Amino acid sequence: MRKLLYISLTTAVVFLSSCSKDDFEDAYGNPSTVETTTVPKQFAGFMKINFEDVIPSYWNYFTVLRSTSLTYTQGHGFTNLSGRYVSGAATVYRWDRFYKFITQYRELEKVMASLPVAKQTENRIYTITSTIYLYDHTSKMIDNFGDIPFSQAGKISSTGGNYAAALAKYDNQTELYTMMLDQLKAFSAELNSITLSANVTLEFKNQDLINKGNLVSWKNYCNSLRLKLLNRVSAVPAFAARANTEIAAIIASGEIVDENSENIAFRVYTQDTDLDTSGFFDAMEGGNNIAPKPMIDHMNANNDPRQPWLFEKGSRIVSNVVIVAPTYEGLDPMLASGDQEQLITDGKIAIYNRSVISRNDWLPGTLINAAEVNLILAEYYSRTGNASSAKTYFEKAIRQSVEYYVRLGDRADDTTWKPTTEPTTAEIDAYIATINFAGATTPAAQLELIAFQKYIHYNMMQVDESWAEQRRLKLPALPFREDETSSVRKTPPTRWTYPTSESVYNGDNYNAVKANDNLSTKIFWDIK
């Protein structure tokens, strides 16, 4: 564990919509200079420090995802430059951000432990919900890196600043998944019976930056996260029976994110705080908003109603004169970089919609949404031999995905590129009929359709999920041009490598996992 000295936060925002940016900055003091905190304040500070991992931001998209997962998934079109399949320094930022985040969680644990037992019980909701949120992001770290420091990580404050004592071992990724699934299951049951005092109800609502104190939303979040993690490990022999049994129980409970109105997200409520999409415009439109060919080709062939909401047409321009009518064309990943760059320079390649996506100051930071949940259910029913239910949830997910992207445009500040008409029911029905899930008569054929819908729905908005699913399923089967100039990696990797700082600052613990620290080692659920 790196030497992180982030201790605690002073106060938290009461209602984001009523705060100015100055108020917000005053409320969130520099965590390294603050000496006192409370459970509610620390809870909000823990959530806030991680917001750039969730809300679309310059930091996450430009410094991390642009050169890693967005390329590996073809969530955007990219030029075939040398070294494009080597994760390099980009992953350092995500690593450091996570350990600032987990350090704040340890401070919450520390403050909670300092309370009398009765007060710990009264404030139990903060432990449950903070841990759900922690596990969501911990699972992403495991999915990207494999074994990670966790159980002993972030405890520099608890050791009294003793750096050597705070060095953290790497926990086994399979054991971490097991622990998270066990605790999330327990939290789900506990949320059914927990009661909050009037004081905690008010404070929790004020400090909860995600669900505003709504316990039903937290229960849905918890179970939908369980659903996602169980599905991810469903092909691992040690998890297979558990995955299908617990997924069936979760479905029976009905306590999941099933409609777009129930989506879990880190929402932007005002432009007067730093909890916004500031910088996302620069991150995307600096050459990272190029449309990928596989997605565009599918949309063209099947009249996908999401296409104008996700993308803008390109047109060849020479000397400021349009010489080809605008069309949807994605960047071919098999072309040489020079040919790709010329197409981009000429303006022929489609780009992500600027009104709906890159210039939309109100984009939410998605955590769990209905379309992804119902695509998971479609996969589960297909896997367990229920093709009829798989079809039902597959088609429901498509309808929800269309609605999701149309509704993203509702608050667009710049409507220059926003479509003027919404997709009709008939157009959506026609697209679903063209995809023809019923015509896929085997689980393998059904899975191909499900995987491609995940690819479209996740696109560049949920890149971590897209990369994990593509590695797990080996679908969709996307073409990649080999990087013949690289002696390290010629095709997309199967994991990120650890920051070099780990071998310097945490050498003994790093040495225990060093043999697996390469771009070819698979994550434990990647078994196809």
Least confident of 274-283, 360-369, 377-386: 274-283
Q: Can you tell me the distance from the alpha carbon of 345 to that of 421, in angstroms, rounded to the nearest whole number? A: 30
Q: How do strand 317-318 and strand 311-312 relate by DSSP bridges?
A: unpaired
Q: Can you tell me the distance from the alpha carbon of 481 to that of 340, in angstroms, rounded to the nearest whole number? A: 12
Whether the predicted pLDDT of 330 surpasses 90: yes
Least confident of 104-108, 181-185, 320-324, 520-524: 320-324
Q: Can you tell me the distance from the alpha carbon of 470 to that of 472, in angstroms, rounded to the nearest whole number? A: 5
Q: Can you tell me the distance from the alpha carbon of 284 to that of 299, in angstroms, rounded to the nearest whole number? A: 21
For tokens 């919900």, name the residue. Answer: 129
Tokens, residue 74: 């073809």
SS3 249: helix
Whether the predicted pLDDT of 401 surpasses 60: yes
For tokens 């909670």, name the residue. Answer: 112
Q: What tens digit of pLDDT does each residue of 58-77 get?
A: 989 999 999 999 999 999 99
How much is the mean pLDDT over the chain? Answer: 91
Tokens, residue 71: 């390329």
Helix (H) or strand (E) holding 490: none
Tokens, residue 520: 């070819």
**What number of other Cβ atoms are within 10 A of residue 350's Cβ?**
29
* Residues forming beta bridges with residue 318, ordered by sequence position: 321
Q: What tens digit of pLDDT does each residue of 213-237 get?
A: 999 999 999 999 999 999 999 999 9
* DSSP string over 366-423: EEE-HHHHHHHHHHHHHHTT-HHHHHHHHHHHHHHHHHHHHHHGGG-S--TTS-SSPP
Cβ 479 vs Cβ 333: under 8 Å: yes
How many angstroms from the chain centroid is the CA of residue 482? 27
Angle separating helix axes 425-435 and 387-408, nearest 10 degrees? 140
Task: Please report the domains of the chain, with CATH numbers, ordered by start residue.
Answer: 39-265 (1.25.40.390), 286-473 (1.25.40.390)
Tokens, residue 153: 């990580």
